[in-house]
Amino acid sequence: MWFEELHLNGSGWEWQQTLDRVSFSDWADPNWQPDSLSNTTMEYCAMLSREKDWAWAEQDCFKRQGMVSVCEIQPAYQQCFQNSCYQLISQFTYYDKLSSKCASLGGTVLEINSKEESDFIKGYLDAAPVGRDGLGNLSLTQVWLGATDIGSEGNFRWMSNNSKLNFDNWGMGQPNNGLPYGLEENCVVLESSEGWKWKDVTCDASRLVVCEVEKWNGGSRRR
């Protein structure tokens, strides 16, 4: 069985969803697992091995044939503020998959409705240990916000209920709909280099996303 939760960032194992360090492990044979630091097979993922009574074994991330995955329906959502809890998802996601990605985790795409929430999210993202690509390079530069002006240029609305923005935190000169370059910009990101202020961008790239759940919906569950 495939165990997609783990990956190696160069100095140890972390959970793929939360990027927390793996504090518990059950390697099949501590004498030879994990061994990817000492050979050249590039085994950066882990699985549960039936032959080893479901203990853990390393595996090449591309060798998925014949494997199945088990999903947990709630990610950690341990970062809570007022009525919401948040989880930065460490997989790059395209705009058209945003809502379904968060829905599959019991939540919606991040929406920011107040200065206080904005400040909290800024602190969360500043502290997030994310943004390493497969080679260990930092890559957390933009995070999707659940807002768009698709359908009515300049009239940005929240994706969850199509209501007009009740708060904004645009960066200097934004939103500009791509002017003067002529690339229509109908999606919104938080930009790390501008203190996580907002900018409209084209909708076609994949970026990281923060999912949000209401607290009463099980958000503050601890593992």
50/164 with CB nearer Ca ion? 164
Residue tagged 């990956």 (tokens): 7
Residue tagged 């904005």 (tokens): 118
76/187 with CB nearer Ca ion? 187
202/220 with CB nearer Ca ion? 202
> CA-CA distance, 102 to 105, in Å (whole number)?
5
CB of 107 to Ca ion, least distance (A): 25
CB of 198 to Ca ion, least distance (A): 9
CB of 114 to Ca ion, least distance (A): 23
87/169 with CB nearer Ca ion? 169
Mark 40-59 as b/e (b = at least 16 C-beta within 10 Å).
eeebbbbbbbeeeeebbbbb
CB of 118 to Ca ion, least distance (A): 18
Which residues are at the interface with Ca ion (CB under 5 A)?
149, 174, 176-177, 185-186, 199-200
Largest interatomic CA distance in the chain: 61
CB of 128 to Ca ion, least distance (A): 23
> CA-CA distance, 159 to 203, in Å (whole number)?
13
Burial level of 11, CB count in 10 A (0-12/13-18/19+)? exposed
71/172 with CB nearer Ca ion? 172
